[in-house]
Amino acid sequence: MRKKITIVGAGNVGGTLAQRLAERNYADLVLVDVVEGLPQGKALDLMEAGPLVGYDCEIIGTNSYEQTAHSDIAIITSGVARKPGMSRDDLLFTNMEIVKSVTQNIVKFSPNCILILISNPLDAMTQLAFHVSGFPKHRVLGMAGVLDTARFRTFLSWEGKVSVTDTYALVLGGHGDTMVPMPRYSTVAGVPIPELFSKETLARLIERTQNGGAEVVKLLKTGSAFYAPSAAAAQMVDAILLDQKKILPCSVYLEGEYGIDRLFVGVPAKLGSSGVKEIAKMMLSVEEQVALQKSAQAVKELIDLMLTKGGMNR
């Protein structure tokens, strides 16, 4: 039987992700949205592209959750998008209620699925979904580091005037301004980037990576990034659905790893058919550890805000 993937939110991220996954042709898709006609129209359009592109998976658009039943993976993209001048954290309370409701509905019809969160603020929403779902920690994760790493790799390739395929990068921490790009573990053609670029250049590239989402929002004016986020989520789905056991930086639940406890923060994780199979261990310098702890604290502050609003129980 073909696998089944549900995408909640048929906006730019959800719709583009549905296209990317349809073209992989390894699972049937259900696209859910509260806007009447939106998921149905996008699903129909995607189905009509099938004969041209060469996929024959089933794609359903719906405003309810009944047709999502027995999904293997559910991806939550729904929520209010950022506007110019807004931080991801500004979205907290609005998206908190949306993600809470969506998670409850997903769990009702697909109690054995793996949950992937894309909604912002990412780490806080992933923690909320974990709390609401009652799922084990290996079946709830957030898309963050894969996207941030892709942005870092893009800027490295431009700076070095090399193919992006020759770059490798790593970004840890929360998906926000305190994220922690890791120059020591980032390379161009296998050469660590501190050996290729000056400290000033690295500082500039790191800052641009940390503000990568805001840069896109400022340019678009009426929306936020969706091509790169959907590609990042699709890479995570590949690793899980195809049991690739691929190590990707994701927002996962830590219980003492990296000195962080009971919190979703971005670290390298091995992904496979069961979700998060293992958290990869890395040796961090004192400076890197301090930066990661600072990023984790920023995530914890958002969790504490949700606690005060009753979105989560202690």
pLDDT tens track for 43-90: 999 999 999 999 999 999 999 999 999 999 999 999 887 667 766 567
d(CA 24, CA 7): 15
Q: Give the pLDDT score at 183.
A: 97
Residue 179 is classified by DSSP as -
Buried b (16+ CB within 10 A) or exposed e, 164-198: eeebbbbbbbbbbbbbbbbbebbbbeeeebeebbe
pLDDT in tens, 150-193: 999 999 999 999 999 999 999 999 998 899 999 999 999 999 99
Q: Give the pLDDT score at 251.
A: 98
Mean pLDDT in the chain?
A: 95
Give me the residue label for tokens 């859910």.
32
Q: Is the pLDDT assigned to residue 312 strictly greater than 90?
A: no
- The SS3 assignment for 271 reads strand
Q: 142 forms bridges with which residues in the sheet?
A: 117, 251
- pTM for this prediction: 0.95
Q: Residue 103, exposed/middle/buried by CB under 10 A (0-12, 13-18, 19+)?
A: buried
* Residues designated as active site: 175
Domains by residue range for the chain, with CATH: 3-142 (3.40.50.720), 144-314 (3.90.110.10)
